[in-house]
Chains A and B, each alone.
Chain A
Amino acid sequence: MSLRYVYGQDETVRFVAQQIPHVDRGFPADRLSIGITDASGRMVAGIVYYFWNRKNGTIEIAAGALPGVRWFTRETIRRALDFAFTQCRCQMVIMRVRGEDERLLYQLARFGCTFIALPRLYGRDTDGVMCLLTDDAWAAHPAASPKIREAA
């Protein structure tokens, strides 16, 4: 399937919030986004960046997609992380994930994420994981763009 990428649209933010059960109050106002559409222009996935702290060089990232759509391609990953590391010039990307979401954690582990367990992040009986991906770890990954690898 041919994917297209749209930047900075509010529709993406709404789409991602709808896909993630624990984002019931939406995202903070100063967020950024990349929407992913199929060839017909239908939004199939989205990535939202929020809590961008320029001083600390950190940004949080959330992603959501329609079920059964193959959107998590190498190109999507490259765009998603190049945006955070090259355009936003962050030194670390943070993603909060439910501890029970083993499939997503497995995928994130493959990119060199460091996992920090956070007790009760999603409720008294639901732990979370803070997944940290540094620019160094991403630069060492084969999917990173040559520019990032050189910068590291």
Chain B
Amino acid sequence: MLDYVYGQDELVAQFVAQLIPHVRGYGFAKGKAIGVIDAQGRLIGGIVYHDYNPQSGVIMLAAAATSPRWLTRETLRRMYEYPFAQLGVQMVAQPTPADNERLLRQLAALDYMFVLVPRMFGRERDGVLALFTREAWQKSKFIRRPDLRLEEAA
């Protein structure tokens, strides 16, 4: 059984930054974060939202965990509820090393679109800017969402 922690943005951001090699030592710009806690009360995963641009409706997302058990449907629901349902962004962007095939497969299954960026993570390491639009989130069969009829009526 997982639990979710809000309001501990800095702590969760540091945890996530430590788990991502290309972010370690730099951290994230100030933003919101959600921590994922296991049954023993240990922080096993985190989601960080940063560089939110309200004008363009784009936010960056980074996520990492120490256990594969963190990525449940409930985690996915919460991961995208904050940017799409609460902030109302039109797109979430997630820079990812091109050699991280496991993550790219997961993102592809969610219907992210990929843009290859040469040398993004170093002279010899390309990156992929993974983009998840609001429409893709609304159509995704893996992610539970709030009632869209209510959202549209609001």
| Mask of B29-51 contacts with A, CB within 8 angstroms, 1/0 | 10000000000000000000001
The stretch of B78-86, B98-106, B111-119, B145-153 that contacts the partner chain: B111-119
Q: A136: shortest Cβ distance to chain B, in Å?
A: 9
B131 to A55, Cβ gap below 8 A? Answer: no
A58 on the interface (CB 8 Å rule)?
yes
> Could you tell me the dominant secondary structure of chain B's interface residues?
loop
A124-B57 in contact given A55-B26, A56-B22 (Cβ < 8 Å): yes
Q: B115: shortest Cβ distance to chain A, in Å?
A: 6
B119 to A121, Cβ gap below 8 A? Answer: no
Interface size class, chain A: 20 to 34
From 104 to 150 in chain A, residues with beta carbon under 8 angstroms from any chain B beta carbon are 114, 116-124, 126, 130, 132, 134
Total CB contacts across the A-B interface at under 8 A = 68
> Could you tell me the dominant secondary structure of chain A's interface residues?
loop
Docked complex Cα distance between A83 and B133 (Å): 36
Q: For residue A92, which residues in chain B have a CB less than 8 angstroms away from its CB? A: 119-120, 123
B91 on the interface (CB 8 Å rule)?
yes
B: which residues have CB within 8 A of A?
22, 25-26, 29, 51, 53-58, 90-91, 113, 115-123, 125, 129, 131, 133-134
